[in-house]
Amino acid sequence: MKNYPIIASITVDEQIAQAIASDVKRVILMTGNITNLGSIIDKLHQSGKQAYVHTEMVSGIGRDASAIQYLADVFKVDGIVTTKSNAVSAARQAGILSIQRIFAIDSAAIETAVRMIKSYKPDEVELMPGLMPRVIQELKERITQPLIVGGLIRHEEEIQQALKSGADFVSIGHEKFWT
């Protein structure tokens, strides 16, 4: 698994130590809160990991430009993950990276997402769920950003299929794929 471009998605606090001990270079935090976020990010940075905070999943963080600036200034996050286009703009203003998460629920959702990506220009795009080879390929052809896929991936073959379909990275919450 070492050759796979995996991003650890941490959904519960108990996964933090496993992510720190793993081979992954990047972590998406979807757990924690404003009171413990600083220590979590410090530990991740000390272990050489890049820390991205999902602004809609970590408790106690607002979703406005001031909150994004606070994440950059106080917690020194490497970037954010968000479904909100205004947060992508705020991240750029704060000097941190952004990953715009999109959900492929139907063709109209994909069309809207592509328009938003072209307009707001996030640094990377995360497509969910990650089990749609045709959609991965078609989206990759329409955007210039690196494409992350995640969600519902449970097997090594699914990781391989996503990468063969055009994904640049796979975000996954199963620790067995982090090493």
Q: What is the pLDDT of residues 27-72, one digit of tens each?
A: 999 999 999 999 999 999 999 999 999 999 999 998 899 999 999 9
In a domain, 1, yes or no: no
In a domain, 106, yes or no: yes
In a domain, 118, yes or no: yes
Confidence of residue 179 (pLDDT cuts 50, 70, 90): confident
Q: For residues 146 and 138, what is the distance between their CA atoms, to the nearest angstrom?
A: 13
The residue range of the domain holding 76 is: 6-177
Confidence of residue 4 (pLDDT cuts 50, 70, 90): low
In a domain, 83, yes or no: yes
Q: To the nearest 10°, report the CA torsion of 39, 41, 45, 49.
A: 140
In a domain, 82, yes or no: yes
Residue 131: CATH number of its domain: 3.20.20.70
- For helices 107-120 and 133-142, give the axis angle rounded to 10 degrees: 30
3-class DSSP assignment, residue 10:
strand
Task: Please name the helix (run of DSSP H) or strand (run of DSSP E) that holds residue 100, with its range, or none.
Answer: strand 97-103
**Domains identified in the chain, total number:** 1
In a domain, 150, yes or no: yes
Q: For residues 162 and 115, what is the distance between their CA atoms, to the nearest angstrom?
A: 23
Indicate the pTM of the whole model: 0.95
In a domain, 94, yes or no: yes
Q: For residues 32 and 78, what is the distance between their CA atoms, to the nearest angstrom?
A: 16
